[in-house]
Copies of this chain bind each other. A is one copy, B any other.
């Protein structure tokens, strides 16, 4: 039964009933090692010897190294359960000079290194594949400067996104990046993977918002391009070498970020729609009617919401629909912004674009609605093994890809569903199965990547290539681009010690 949406938009309280669990980050059952699971060959690196460990002990002290492969699950296994390495050493620098000393030593001694942030990568970008030394950035988490007039914020790469956002909020600013993993992910990892997230539609991407970085090359040389201006054209824009190269060209140690003013008013709408066609029409309308206030347009299909209901006991506040849209606006005038949103919803309802919805400008309710979208990743962890994909797809093909995969998988899959950042053409396609098998993997890959190529999509929208997608790079990239990537890798890291087996086909 469709409950007609109240035109006057009695800003509702249904959402309050939603029940929230705390986040759970415990590691799951025993996983097989990546090298066995993915049949990958170890590079020609030296194995760790006692004198190497002694060097790191001398450099960092006893408390900032962790040894013994059996104690390091938290660092060896990725959060989603896709990959598992067998590193027996984690090192935790606190300063750029320490990062430099570590890399310089590893480079000279041909020890492979896996830089690690919050370990929330969806493509196993931040865990070792074999016995790489894990360079954990978790202790480099100082915030150095927040300038509330210019909006320039300078901090260490190991800062957790949510912590940084809390700190800048106190000064009236907002971090122009927001994603589900914010409680764990680190900014250094966000930059290294060029994370996109929920509010890219409003604030743009990290290549645009990062003012400067300090990074350490494989040989330990510190590259200081920690510039602090929006406009700064003094030579090549080197920082972009480190943004999105997933730690394979250097380790980011410090960041200068442009943070916009914290919006004074927020509005959110959670809408039910009957078809993807209506989703697209509503999006177009939102883009033109809500204009500069639009800060997020997220889509979820029915299955995505059912999953969070089943696994996390979250509840849709409006009952069941084939599609849901979350539309958020952020502005500087509470009254105008609410009026704008209400008018947009009123017309959308009148024009039969949407079937039902709730809207709110209350922070607690806004948070509740966002949890339905943001905790999808967490729910996935409780649904057997899930093949997670992250595509950029021309909008007209956005959902046909999900339908195609449903047909393709038939009874072999448990669920096939899609959600994502519609405003950025970014689809998260999910295929969950009872158990990971080679047969199912071969059924899905490279089939799904080839389909994406056929519709001129991108096989990695915001997650990066990491370990899981590296071998499919040539499906997406032109040969000339891959060739130039190899040239850069070779010149920046001739021994290949930085995050091997990631990004570039191994």
Are B230 and A424 closer than 8 Å at their CB atoms?
yes
Whether, in the assembled complex, A440 has its beta carbon less than 8 Å from a beta carbon of chain B, the answer is no
A237 partner residues in chain B, CB cutoff 8 A: 194, 207, 240, 243-245
Knowing A209-B208, A261-B291 are in contact, say whether A461-B233 is a contact too (CB < 8 A): yes
A347 partner residues in chain B, CB cutoff 8 A: none
Count of A interface residues, CB-CB < 8 Å:
85
Knowing A238-B484, A336-B333 are in contact, say whether A196-B231 is a contact too (CB < 8 A): yes
Are A234 and B200 closer than 8 Å at their CB atoms?
no
* Segment at the interface with B among A156-164, A217-225, A358-366: A217-225
Are B235 and A504 closer than 8 Å at their CB atoms?
yes
Whether, in the assembled complex, A180 has its beta carbon less than 8 Å from a beta carbon of chain B, the answer is no
Knowing A236-B244, A264-B291 are in contact, say whether A224-B480 is a contact too (CB < 8 A): yes
Whether, in the assembled complex, A456 has its beta carbon less than 8 Å from a beta carbon of chain B, the answer is yes
Whether, in the assembled complex, A367 has its beta carbon less than 8 Å from a beta carbon of chain B, the answer is no
Knowing A244-B236, A291-B264 are in contact, say whether A229-B425 is a contact too (CB < 8 A): yes
Are B340 and A227 closer than 8 Å at their CB atoms?
no
Q: Which of B201, B233, B463, B491 contacts A193 (CB 8 A)?
A: B233
* Segment at the interface with B among A85-93, A320-328, A471-479: A471-479
Knowing A224-B481, A225-B478, A480-B222 are in contact, say whether A421-B238 is a contact too (CB < 8 A): no
Are B485 and A238 closer than 8 Å at their CB atoms?
yes
Q: Which of B227, B261, B424, B476 contacts A231 (CB 8 A)?
A: B424
Q: Which of B232, B261, B421 contacts A458 (CB 8 A)?
A: B232
A290 to chain B, nearest CB (A): 7
CA distance A225 to B483 in the complex (A): 12
A91 to chain B, nearest CB (A): 23
Are B330 and A292 closer than 8 Å at their CB atoms?
yes
Task: Give A221-263 as 1s and 0s: 1 = Cβ < 8 Å from B's Cβ atoms.
Answer: 1111101111111111110110111000100000000000101
Whether, in the assembled complex, A138 has its beta carbon less than 8 Å from a beta carbon of chain B, the answer is no
A264 partner residues in chain B, CB cutoff 8 A: 291
Whether, in the assembled complex, A76 has its beta carbon less than 8 Å from a beta carbon of chain B, the answer is no
Within 8 A of B (CB), among A394-425: 394-395, 421, 424-425
Are B482 and A235 closer than 8 Å at their CB atoms?
yes
Q: Which of A237, A331, A340, A421 has the most CB of B within 10 A?
A: A237
Knowing A225-B478, A284-B149, A481-B223 are in contact, say whether A464-B233 is a contact too (CB < 8 A): yes
Task: Give A251-290 as 1s and 0s: 1 = Cβ < 8 Å from B's Cβ atoms.
Answer: 0000000000101100000000000000000001001111
Whether, in the assembled complex, A10 has its beta carbon less than 8 Å from a beta carbon of chain B, the answer is no
Whether, in the assembled complex, A368 has its beta carbon less than 8 Å from a beta carbon of chain B, the answer is no
Whether, in the assembled complex, A462 has its beta carbon less than 8 Å from a beta carbon of chain B, the answer is yes
Whether, in the assembled complex, A332 has its beta carbon less than 8 Å from a beta carbon of chain B, the answer is yes
CA distance A384 to B235 in the complex (A): 29
Whether, in the assembled complex, A465 has its beta carbon less than 8 Å from a beta carbon of chain B, the answer is yes
Whether, in the assembled complex, A107 has its beta carbon less than 8 Å from a beta carbon of chain B, the answer is no
A336 partner residues in chain B, CB cutoff 8 A: 333, 336, 340
Whether, in the assembled complex, A308 has its beta carbon less than 8 Å from a beta carbon of chain B, the answer is no
Within 8 A of B (CB), among A141-184: 149-150, 172
A234 partner residues in chain B, CB cutoff 8 A: 458-460, 465, 473, 476-477
A293 to chain B: closest residue by CB:
B292
Whether, in the assembled complex, A40 has its beta carbon less than 8 Å from a beta carbon of chain B, the answer is no
A231 partner residues in chain B, CB cutoff 8 A: 196, 200, 205, 392, 421, 424-426, 458, 461-462
Closest A-B pairs by Cβ, 6 of them: A208-B208, A291-B332, A240-B240, A229-B392, A224-B478, A231-B461
Q: Write 5 A-B pairs (CB below 8 A) sorted by A numbering.
A: A224-B480, A234-B476, A236-B241, A237-B244, A291-B333
